[in-house]
Amino acid sequence: MPEITSQKLVEHLISNGVTLLVAFLLITQTATEVEPEYVRVLQEDLITLRSEYNQQTAKLVTATILIAELERLAGGESIDDVEGGAIYSFLDRIKRPAWCKSVVYNGEGEDPSFVMEYLNRDYEERFKFTLSYYKGKTDFEAHRPDLAQRYYQNDLQAWATKDYLEFLEPTIRDGTLGWFAKWWFPLPSGREFVCGMEVARQLPDGSYSPVLQD
């Protein structure tokens, strides 16, 4: 058996200690790399799920309005009463700021206008704009030009694509940014709407918190 001197023992311990230290550092580094990656994946999944949830909510808007239309028409009410009652009924139940603008065609070759028709109580409470003030107005008649142009372009995109879209917009209350969903849908009477709802609002630290329905 080879003689193990104190010097060789020290060298052996140092060598093994360095190996363990390197292994520990590698594991620690891997853990710090994996954890942010894991968090990133979860965050991406959350964003995807939030978007899917909001899209289903948008589809529910359309379905609810169409079902209510059929029920109220069967009861003998006028088309205007049916449309208004159905949209009001939905917007009053959704626990987040929501609204609907009618699409007004201005002439051949011109982009349409979007006129506020309905907004819910959550919208009034959050943004301090009442339905009585906003109803019948375009954004250009209700807001300063820079905000109005931003809102209009996004409404126009939702109308043109005929799809559910989400936009980062400054709020009318204090200029903080928020995520808003917008989508187009037609009613059997021929009227068209671009509706919207708040889906995430900006926190003081700059992050965004999803606005979910209760």
Contact at 8 Å (CB) between 175 and 150? no
Find out whether 58 and 164 touch, Cβ atoms under 8 Å: yes
Report pTM.
0.65
**Structure confidence at residue 105 (pLDDT):** 95
Per the CB < 8 A criterion, the answer to whether 161 and 177 are in contact is: no
pLDDT for residue 10: 36
Most confident of 3-12, 22-31, 75-84: 75-84
Query: Domain segments of the chain: what residues?
Result: 55-210
**120 against 65, higher pLDDT:** 120
CB 118 within 8 A of CB 101: no
- Tell me the mean pLDDT in the region 69-82: 64
Residue 92 has pLDDT above 60, yes or no: yes
Separation CA 81–CA 73 (nearest Å): 9
Q: What is the pLDDT of residues 2-16, one digit of tens each?
A: 444 444 433 443 344
CATH of 55-210, one of 3.30.450.20, 3.30.930.10, 3.90.700.10, 3.40.50.720: 3.30.450.20
Mean pLDDT of 196-200: 89
Q: Using 50, 70 and 90 to split pLDDT, how confident is the model at 95?
A: confident
Q: Does the pLDDT at position 107 exceed 60?
A: yes
Residue with tokens 């190996």: 19
Query: What is the pLDDT confidence band of residue 52, given thresholds at 50, 70 and 90?
Result: low
Q: H or E element: which one contains 104?
A: strand 98-104
Give the model's pLDDT for residue 163. Answer: 86
Give me the sign of the Cα torsion angle 9, 12, 18, 24: negative
The burial class, CB within 10 Å (0-12 / 13-18 / 19+), for 158 is buried
Instruction: Look at 23-27, 82-86, 195-199 and tell me which has the smallest mean pLDDT.
Output: 23-27
CA 116 to mean position of chain CA atoms? 20
Q: Provide φ and ψ at 37, rounded to 5°.
A: -65, -40
